[in-house]
Amino acid sequence: MIIILKPHASKEEAQKLLQQIEQKGLKPLYMPGVERTVIGAIGDERVLQSLHLDSHPLVDQIKPILSSYKLVSRELYPIDTRVKVGRHAVGGETFTVIAGPCAVESQQQLDGIADYLTTHAVAGIRGGAYKPRSSPYSFQGLGEEGLKILKATSDRTGLPTISEVVDANDAPLMAQYVDCLQIGARNMQNFRLLEAVGKLDKPVLLKRGMSATIEELLLAAEYIVNAGNPNVILCERGIRTFETATRNTLDLNAVAYLKQKTHLPVLVDPSHGTGVRELVIPLARAAAAVGADGIIVETHTNPAEALSDGHQNLDPQQFDDLMSSLKPFVEAAGRRL
Ligand code: PEP
Ligand code: MN
């Protein structure tokens, strides 16, 4: 519920109301504005009846938040949230490009990739140290060794790092090494994992589950924010449909819809979204055109030898082509690279 206070309501009076809301077991939110103070009450609104807010002398208007998700809703916070990953703000005027291999394979591999990424306007380097693979026989990632490699590359180049956390128990350890924690598609509804990253002071890149509705994605984000971490970046990475020509179907509807419904930044992953190297550039441009806040792309110095997802990785030349061909689309969408 959104409670808009009358212009003359003082900070102390607002605090009193917030306390009453908290005593009723709801989450109180204080949002002072230039002209009006707005208060949020998140939880079972029926228990607020005894406060008679509709006839309260300080209350101007009460509006219910109609969506099932509240904290991530634009109804509650109309202004775009910017999430800092290292020094870079995701969701600002700059179109964010995060790139890197599917998996961290060695120090030499990651350094080679980082060296060409730093010649471009890249906001961060990605790379999985813990890989959620469909087959138990596939490369599972280097674990903590991979985190150390990420940290060393970041220390040398200044690139912030993004890496996937697959187990709630690993989350605090990962937070010591990387700048942004990724929740993968397969874990989008691992609610204990969402709560674990919600307790950490690190931004979270939350990928949409391959069979998850947009509402489920937003409710997953709500878990993280409700646990105390407001720094969530959403990522559309393609969904499963009847189509088999591509690995997934990149749902660009979702991007436009999310930008209307939530204040959180939205990235697009055209690598997993298509699973086809040749389609990454066109879909990256489409992501910029539809209003995404950025992209996360897989790239490798030698995709043919990549230990995972090589077929959808761009090589350095293709990554150059991506960056130059993206520019006019980003600028047409009113942003810069
Ligand atoms: C990844 O980013 O390498 C990955 C496993 O992505 P997703 O969870 O979207 O499949
Ligand atoms: Mn991958």
Q: Is 272 in the pocket of ligand 1 (CB under 6 A)?
A: yes
What residues make up the domain containing 121?
A: 83-332
Domain ends where: 31, 63, 95?
A: 63
Is residue 90 included in any domain, yes or no? yes
State percent of the chain over pLDDT 70.
100
Instruction: State which ligand 1 atom lies nearest to the alpha carbon of 102.
Output: 3
Instruction: State which ligand 1 atom lies nearest to the alpha carbon of 296.
Output: 2
Report pLDDT digits (tens) over 41-66.
998 888 888 888 989 999 999 999 99
Own/partner pairs for 241-248, CB < 8 Å, 24+ apart? 246/274, 246/275, 246/276, 246/279, 247/272, 247/273, 247/274, 247/275, 247/276, 247/312, 248/210, 248/272, 248/273, 248/274, 248/275
Distance of CA 17 from the midpoint of ligand 2 (Å): 48
CA 188 to CA 165: how far, in whole Å?
A: 11
Structure tokens that stand for 337 in this block = 């690279």
Whether 175 and 220 map to the same domain: the answer is yes
* Tokens 């990522």 belong to residue: 235
Is residue 71 included in any domain, yes or no? no
- Name residue 103's beta-bridge partners: 128
Is residue 110 included in any domain, yes or no? yes
Report pLDDT digits (tens) over 163-195.
999 999 999 999 999 999 999 999 999 999 999
CA 330 to CA 271: how far, in whole Å?
A: 18
Is residue 298 included in any domain, yes or no? yes
Q: Which of 269, 295, 313 to mutate to test the pocket of ligand 1 (most atoms within 8 A of CB)?
A: 269
The burial class, CB within 10 Å (0-12 / 13-18 / 19+), for 13 is middle
Neighbours of ion ligand 2 (CB under 5 A): 102, 309
Contact by Cβ (8 Å): 104, 65: no
Q: Is 102 in the pocket of ligand 1 (CB under 6 A)?
A: yes
Report pLDDT digits (tens) over 219-235.
999 999 999 999 999 99
